[in-house]
Amino acid sequence: MPKRVKQQKKKQTRYTRRKKQQKKRYTRNQKRKRGGDGSDLPPLPPLSQSQSQSQPFTPQTKKRSTSLSVPERPCKKNKKLYYDKADLDLIRIVERIGSESKNGTLIKIEEPIPQMVQHFQRNETDKFVLKIPKRDTFTNIVDNIVYEFEVGLFINEHFRPCYPCFLQTYDLIHAEDSNKIQSYIKKKDLLKPQTEENQRKETFSTLKVILPNAIDSTDPSTCENKHNYVVKIQYVSNGETLYDLLSKSVLDEYDINAILMQIYAPLYHINEIKKKTIFIHNDLHFNNIFVIKLKEPIHIEYTFSSTTTTTITTTITTQYLVKMIDYGRCHIPETKEFQTFYDGLNEEKESYQSYLINCGMRHVLYKSDDLHVFNSVQQKLSKNHEYNCKNLQDAYKLLTNFFNQQKCNEQSSFTLFVDGEKMTYKGTIPGGIDSSLFGENVMSQVTTENTTPPASPRSHKK
């Protein structure tokens, strides 16, 4: 054999060995970094071959040999799976939002009116966001989009009518291959207009809108095809993440606390007072807080009862409206069933953990206190590196004390009243602002009194 051929074969062998080593290192690192930034969750065992062949343990199925009574999830499946007509091939404009993250890509779409879905009453807007999961070819790990849709429906029913900091979730969509959408997004700007239109219609014509409660996030078939589901959520414009705003240093202390108030006042009220409807975001970091700058300042008045006799009213004046985004790891009351089922297992705990990992739902066994953002910001504002608020009640008290000490005469023609029961408003919605930002209750109200409410305290003038 010629010497040159031998050298080429040695190079190919070294190249192949190096690639295998890189793949092993990548897989090992991904297992360590699962969930948020990876530091808050303990490592879990990978799904072995013997476990993958055995029947998985889910809250709906259990071995006959065990006497444990497993709770059934309150999800009634529909006999019909899809809507008869979706018209997703009529989507006009598709744009990527931000860069690709660990769990997937966000894209903005525009649909023609009349809207394709009839089971939601909403404002006459045709802009939405599709969250498309990222297929990880090495670890096969990605958050479960179906679970995120289930959380979104819970938020639509219980929290959206009461608090302005939540986004609307619209539809769960099945895609035969989500990679086709990713591929189209990457090359759309390089195509000629007619070719781009044809490929867009071909890509989105295969999508089907799934009926609510038609499938379950823990069903084995759902877990196996979790990459092929897309969730459609509310689109909001003229905003940035809290991380970007803090990086630009454009916020003063009052604005920062006003943003925190819009997050932690509802979380405090939901978890400390309304104990029947516990909600934990479980992945609340600076990039999951979206801040929208309004053209005019508005008042937001929070009236929450701390006890049966004490009522605390706090009013803030702000040009920033806040939205919590990314509900893929949230905890709602139904999530507790997974932990209860897991605690009742003995030898099968490892198999159940592995099943949840493969299903993209390992987060249901772990929860955080959602105070990371609050503590990080307060440490910088107070210049106290040892500052550590341990519960939502203390965070809420600190914020209310801050705003009750401010004095200013800044006016606003629009006031939101938030009491945890039903969100109402008084005045005129600022021009150019989509009323859907304030929830369905505000949209449905017909009385718009053009009166100016009393001035709210503020410590400075811009």
Express each pLDDT in 365-389 by its tens digit. 888 889 999 999 998 888 777 778 8
pTM recorded for the entire structure: 0.76
Q: What pLDDT shows up at residue 445?
A: 61
| Residue 448 scores a pLDDT above 50 | no
Mean pLDDT calculated for residue range 242-258: 91
The pLDDT tens digits of the residues spanning 145-182 come to 889 999 999 999 999 988 999 999 998 888 877 778 87
Mean pLDDT calculated for residue range 320-333: 92
Who's near 257: CB < 8 A, 6+ residues apart? Answer: 399, 402, 403
204, 86 Cβ separation under 8 angstroms = no
The per-residue pLDDT of the chain, averaged, comes to: 75
| Residue 321 scores a pLDDT above 90 | yes
Mean pLDDT calculated for residue range 282-290: 92
Who's near 376: CB < 8 A, 6+ residues apart? Answer: 286
303, 313 Cβ separation under 8 angstroms = yes
Question: Which residue, among 239, 167, 238, 430, has the nearest Cα to 317 in the 3D structure?
Answer: 430
Mean pLDDT calculated for residue range 406-422: 80
Q: What pLDDT shows up at residue 304?
A: 84
By CB atoms closer than 10 A (0-12, 13-18, 19+), residue 281 is buried
Taking residue 39's Cβ as centre, other Cβ atoms within 10 Å add up to: 8
CA–CA separation, 166 vs 59, rounded Å? 28
Q: Which residue do the tokens 């009393």 mark?
A: 454
Band of pLDDT at residue 255, cut at 50, 70 and 90: very high
The pLDDT tens digits of the residues spanning 195-221 come to 888 888 888 887 888 887 777 777 777
36-50, 204-218, 333-347: range with highest mean pLDDT? 333-347
Q: What pLDDT shows up at residue 83?
A: 57
Angstrom distances, CA of residue 132 to CA of 110, 207, 329: 16, 12, 16
CA–CA separation, 433 vs 143, rounded Å? 32
CA–CA separation, 184 vs 153, rounded Å? 29
Where are the domains positioned within the chain?
Answer: 88-234, 239-331+367-444
Q: What pLDDT shows up at residue 167?
A: 92
Question: Which residue, among 126, 156, 146, 167, has the nearest Cα to 230 in the 3D structure?
Answer: 146
Q: What pLDDT shows up at residue 189?
A: 80
Taking residue 14's Cβ as centre, other Cβ atoms within 10 Å add up to: 10
Band of pLDDT at residue 408, cut at 50, 70 and 90: low
Q: What pLDDT shows up at residue 1?
A: 62
When comparing pLDDT for 13 and 78, which is higher? 13
CA–CA separation, 276 vs 333, rounded Å? 8
Mean pLDDT calculated for residue range 286-310: 85
Q: What pLDDT shows up at residue 349?
A: 87
Q: What pLDDT shows up at residue 357?
A: 85
Band of pLDDT at residue 7, cut at 50, 70 and 90: low
Q: What pLDDT shows up at residue 223?
A: 81
Q: Which residue do the tokens 């809108």 mark?
A: 209
110-124, 136-150, 152-166, 447-461: range with highest mean pLDDT? 152-166
Mean pLDDT calculated for residue range 314-320: 91
Angstrom distances, CA of residue 10 to CA of 3, 14, 18: 11, 6, 12
When comparing pLDDT for 283 and 15, which is higher? 283
| Residue 283 scores a pLDDT above 70 | yes
Q: What pLDDT shows up at residue 256?
A: 93
| Residue 258 scores a pLDDT above 90 | yes
